[in-house]
Structure 1
């Protein structure tokens, strides 16, 4: 059993060391693959009748992008995801695409995806102690509920203001853009934190 665990620890160390020392071309390819994963998971949705913002699985992909690709490259994967969607590929939530999405109800959340991936990739790569469940859970809470939801709610509020002529109240905005997603996000954060603990080596690479 101990031999098996040692082999596993060595393989995950070798994998992340290999990832860290790849050329820009290889890292760009990996970022494109992560963008594709994000686009696929964005199609797993639960529409809500009172808000234009659906529940999606793509947040999980956003949270692990920085973990798998590291600082900068996790964020780049989300930039690629957004760029390809903006030029018309229908892989935003609900198989939508085009520049109108950036100006729509969910445009602010897209910006938050980049910020969250950059933030988590930085901490996961630089701080070994962040690669365990509890500290990563705290970091992902911040990434999700601050870095994603703050720009998301601002963008949603501006969209509502443009379409209705008045900016929504705080509780109306939270009911449309935050509160319905809390439980699901906590589950995704717990899963992504456990994923981090399992896959990331606990030594410098």
Structure 2
């Protein structure tokens, strides 16, 4: 490790004990990090959603700032952008961006940062490499779900088209960003307790259950994408089958959190 355990533990205890205004300042700093990352962008010819570097600071904000201030950093980013600060992708701003085709991804940043921060701060086992990998990819999935849903709603795309244009093109790049975030978190996160965690959880069961949810969602998206005409029976049966599978894995997640 580049930073020894004692130093890593000290960093996070320091962050936890910071005065409120310092924590808010860090949230603004990460909002700026997200805004800068949005400027590294380009568009693919077949989707209205830009490819950016934003996913990386979103994932790291939950790890470094925790659930409240990680989510706050992304709320600041979304709010100031909506109020006119031109730091959305392509130096754009305004409420129209949040309510437009790509707005769901920005809104999802808040949720993803909170989820990652919650687990990282609440459970010691969540700071292992395996758990961090699960959390980072879960954060990406959250962004995809919110983003594709709003893309479909705003543009009138069907589910199949929204998946093909709003999820699939971004998977390779987001895997790369998640791996970078996992590497950074493994260097920064302490293995020891910093006195705010809840009881331990079953990290292996959580990893398997969360992986099961991710795989099931992936198969669901692929199944929907392959249905050219969404007949009522085909749609209902597909949703029912995958909903049952997700419920089973969801039960596994809840059970893992109880130790």
- What's the TM-score once normalised by structure 2's chain length? 0.72
Instruction: Tell me the equivalent position of 1:170.
Output: 159
The alignment status of 1:202 with 2:195, answered yes or no, reads: no
Give secondary structure in 2 for the equivalent of 1:113. helix
Give secondary structure in 1 for the equivalent of 2:75. helix
Instruction: Tell me the equivalent position of 1:181.
Output: 170
1:132 and 1:196 in contact (8 A); partners too: no
Q: Structure 1: which 4+ aligned runs deviate by more than 6 Å?
A: none
1:39-188 matches, within 5 Å, as 39-145=35-141, 147-161=142-156, 168-188=157-177
Unaligned runs of 5+ in 1: 162-167
Q: How far 1:204 moved relative to its partner?
A: 1.4
Q: How far 1:6 moved relative to its partner?
A: 10
Give secondary structure in 1 for the equivalent of 2:79. helix
Unaligned runs of 5+ in 2: 195-259
Instruction: Tell me the equivalent position of 1:164.
Output: none
- Compared with structure 1, are the counterparts of its residues 6 and 154 closer, same or farther at alpha carbon in structure 2 (3 Å cutoff)? closer
- What's the TM-score once normalised by structure 1's chain length? 0.91
Give secondary structure in 1 for the equivalent of 2:76. helix
* One of 10, 14, 20 as aligned partner of 1:18: 14
Q: How far 1:169 moved relative to its partner?
A: 2.3
Counterpart-to-counterpart distance in 2, 1:15 and 1:141: 25
- Compared with structure 1, are the counterparts of its residues 49 and 23 closer, same or farther at alpha carbon in structure 2 (3 Å cutoff)? same
Equivalent pairs, count? 194
Q: How far 1:170 moved relative to its partner?
A: 2.4
Q: How far 1:27 moved relative to its partner?
A: 0.5
- Compared with structure 1, are the counterparts of its residues 176 and 7 closer, same or farther at alpha carbon in structure 2 (3 Å cutoff)? closer
Counterpart-to-counterpart distance in 2, 1:169 and 1:103: 18
Structure possessing the higher radius of gyration over alpha carbons: 2
Give secondary structure in 1 for the equivalent of 2:4. helix
The alignment status of 1:192 with 2:181, answered yes or no, reads: yes
Q: How far 1:171 moved relative to its partner?
A: 2.2
* Greater relative CO, 1 or 2 (CA 8 Å, sep 6+): 1
